[in-house]
Structure 1
Amino acid sequence: MIEFTNWDLLRNLLLATRWTIALSLTAFIGGALVGLLLTAMRLSGRRPLQWLVRGYVEVFQGTPLLMQLFLVFFGLSLLGLDISAWSAAAFALTFFTSAFLTEIWRGCIDTLPKGQWEASRCLGLSFQQTLGRVILPQAIRVALAPTVGFSVQVIKGTALASIIGFVELTKAGTMLNNATFEPFKIFAMVALIYFALCYPLSLASQRLEKKFNGAR
């Protein structure tokens, strides 16, 4: 058994936390970009595009994130593509995030009165103009709170990347536990770090919900 001071344990966990944050940001930004495209396709009124988006969302919402990580990491390897654990985790989490953000944003847009779409058409505005100038400015206020709230799920979801060998906070905790045999101390530190990452976002989501209360 290797002897580590408490500072050694915390320092190593904080170093691994950088990768948790990097993976979370990559997945959230990538998922937001893909989600915007999918939301626009869903609202386009074209049935084939709507069915495509609906199928995409159902697949990634209806299957466990762990299975998605396995399929990306091992599936691409079987196809002869050499993919790193980082890339596989980033792709899987981006797909997962985009599916949920698409539904969150579609739901927020659906809360707006339908008459605004009809009034925009009467004014001769195109779909892009209606979406950009009329709908999105209002929907953003409604969507901010749930979007920030979902970022907490993205951060917690990065823990599953340890299964495919990506060394982030959870994987680092497991490795330190194997070296020190002090699971309670190490995983208590891991839990506190996750809490420190997630709690401010949860608090921000609650405050945004009160500030931009859609019903009010």
Structure 2
Amino acid sequence: MGNSFGLGELGFLIQGLKWTVLLAAIAFIGGGIGGLGVALARTSTSWGLRRAMAGYIAVFQGTPLLMQLFVIYYGLGLIGLTLPAWLAVAIAFTLHASAFLGEIWRGAIEALPKGQFEAARALGLHYVPQMRDVILPQALRIALPATVGFLVQLIKGTSLAAIVGFIELARAGQIVSNQTYAPLFVFTVVGAIYFALCWPLSLYGMHIENRISRTAR
């Protein structure tokens, strides 16, 4: 017989939640920094840079995240570079997020009217102040709903990290389920935690999208 579900088991799930939130935060922040570089490269005047970043995006958008985790964790081990599970999944999720956020933000930059670029050049602004002061603030505002939506997907995607032994919320739920022999109850609790984490973000994304739509009318 397994143990009953109590405060100890709930505490173990909360520990898993902590790692889920931490992994999502690292991936989102690191992916945001990398994604900005990807977006700027994709909209640059350099043909080679645009093609290189297009290939980078194609690799990470065209392959399963699970496979990317395997390659980073096990593939690097084959060449003698063994990483701790948490570091391997952080790198994999950051690279994954940078590709997706880069493409989201690239689309937002290209969605701006050409007049914005022409006005910035007419003011004598060079590339860096042009992007920093004129283009990016507008583009990021347009991209915010999609960015929040990706964050929700990223949080749920952290459950795949269990494949390399990383104990996040879903893996913690599996361990507790095996101990208590109450999978339906345990995963109902796990699902409720994911819902409490993701649903407010989804509502926030929809609120921003509606506000942008009203402003554009």
Q: Secondary structure in 1 aligned to 2:216?
A: coil
Letter in 1 for 2:84: S
Offset, 1:43: 1.7
Structure-2 separation of matches of 1:198 and 1:108: 24
Structure-2 separation of matches of 1:164 and 1:193: 22
Tell me, yes or no, if structure 1 residue 203 matches structure 2 residue 200. Answer: no
Structure-2 separation of matches of 1:47 and 1:24: 33
After the TM superposition, list the runs of 4 or more consecutive aligned residues in structure 1 that deviate by more than 4 angstroms: none
Structure-2 separation of matches of 1:135 and 1:122: 14
2:8 matched residue in structure 1 = 8
| CA distance 1:111–1:215, change in 2 (3 Å) | farther
1:164 matched residue in structure 2 = 164
Structure-1 separation of matches of 2:123 and 2:92: 42
Letter in 1 for 2:12: N
2:144 matched residue in structure 1 = 144
Letter in 1 for 2:160: L
Structure-2 separation of matches of 1:89 and 1:121: 42
Q: Secondary structure in 2 aligned to 1:212?
A: helix
2:88 matched residue in structure 1 = 88
Q: How does 1:21-100 map to 2 (within 5 A)?
A: 21-100=21-100
In the alignment, is the contact (CA less than 8 A) between 2:5 and 2:180 conserved in 1?
Answer: no
2:216 matched residue in structure 1 = 215
Q: Secondary structure in 1 aligned to 2:103?
A: helix
Structure-2 separation of matches of 1:137 and 1:92: 28
Structure-1 separation of matches of 2:81 and 2:100: 27
Segments of structure 2 that go 5 or more residues without pairing to the other structure are none
Q: Which moved more, 1:41-50 or 1:58-67?
A: 41-50
Letter in 1 for 2:216: A
Q: Among the aligned pairs, what percent are the same residue?
A: 50
Offset, 1:173: 0.9
Letter in 2 for 1:94: T
1:20 matched residue in structure 2 = 20
Structure-1 separation of matches of 2:43 and 2:107: 11
Structure-2 separation of matches of 1:88 and 1:61: 19
Offset, 1:4: 2.5
Structure-2 separation of matches of 1:137 and 1:191: 36
Structure-2 separation of matches of 1:4 and 1:23: 29
Offset, 1:81: 0.9
Structure-2 separation of matches of 1:51 and 1:198: 35
2:173 matched residue in structure 1 = 173
Instruction: Give the alignment's TM-score, normalised by structure 2.
Output: 0.95
Structure-2 separation of matches of 1:28 and 1:200: 17
Letter in 2 for 1:5: F
1:132 matched residue in structure 2 = 132
Offset, 1:212: 2.5
Offset, 1:10: 2.1
